[in-house]
Amino acid sequence: MAKSKVAYHCTECGGQSTKWQGQCPHCFAWNTLTESIIEGKSVNRYASIAQTSTLQKLSDVETQNIIRQTTGISEFDRVLGGGLVGGAVILLGGDHSQIAELMNLNAQTVRNRVSNMLLES
Ligand SMILES: [Zn+2]
């Protein structure tokens, strides 16, 4: 959320001050400072390390066919969009029995298939 700041501008010289004073610190005129709100930029603490990118039309985005390695577990391959992609990291939550239950397989089969695939790649 953007934080607003208050500034005081002199109606005589246009000078700016961060706090209200009876006398302008620039031109020394009396009772000439008026309050104004300065909208702060919304900056989060990660803004300095965040990457920026330009907008592209979807039709301008280049696509490439990625070779996917099927696991032999059809439901798992379907969830992965057709199989594993080299260099991809997939996080499965839950223990082996939960994952196996979701895929309707036994836990040892899942463990062996995934382990074999990790060894092959
Ligand atoms: Zn002034």
Q: How many whole angstroms from 87 Cα to the centroid of ligand 1?
A: 63
> If you average pLDDT over every residue of the chain, what do you get?
80
Whether residue 98 is contained in a domain is answered as yes
pTM over 0.85: no
Whether residue 113 sits in one domain with residue 73: yes
Q: How many whole angstroms from 72 Cα to the centroid of ligand 1?
A: 78
Q: How many whole angstroms from 82 Cα to the centroid of ligand 1?
A: 70
* Predicted confidence (pLDDT) per residue in 45-87, tens digit: 777 777 777 888 888 888 888 888 888 778 888 888 888 888 8
Whether residue 14 is contained in a domain is answered as yes
How many domains does one find in the chain? 2
Whether residue 54 is contained in a domain is answered as no
Whether residue 78 is contained in a domain is answered as yes
Cα separation, 110 vs 76, in Å, equals 10
Q: How many whole angstroms from 18 Cα to the centroid of ligand 1?
A: 13
Q: DSSP assignment, residue 40?
A: P
Whether residue 55 is contained in a domain is answered as no
Higher pLDDT, 102 or 115: 115
Whether residue 34 sits in one domain with residue 70: no
Whether residue 113 is contained in a domain is answered as yes
Task: Give the three-class secondary structure for 96.
Answer: helix
Strands 5-10 and 16-17: antiparallel
Whether residue 108 sits in one domain with residue 72: yes
Q: Which range (21-25, 38-42, 76-80) has the least confidence?
A: 38-42
Whether residue 49 is contained in a domain is answered as no
Domain, as residue range, for 80: 66-120
Whether residue 116 sits in one domain with residue 72: yes
Q: How many whole angstroms from 6 Cα to the centroid of ligand 1?
A: 17
Ligand 1 is an ion; its neighbours by CB within 5 Å are 10, 12-13, 15, 24, 26-27
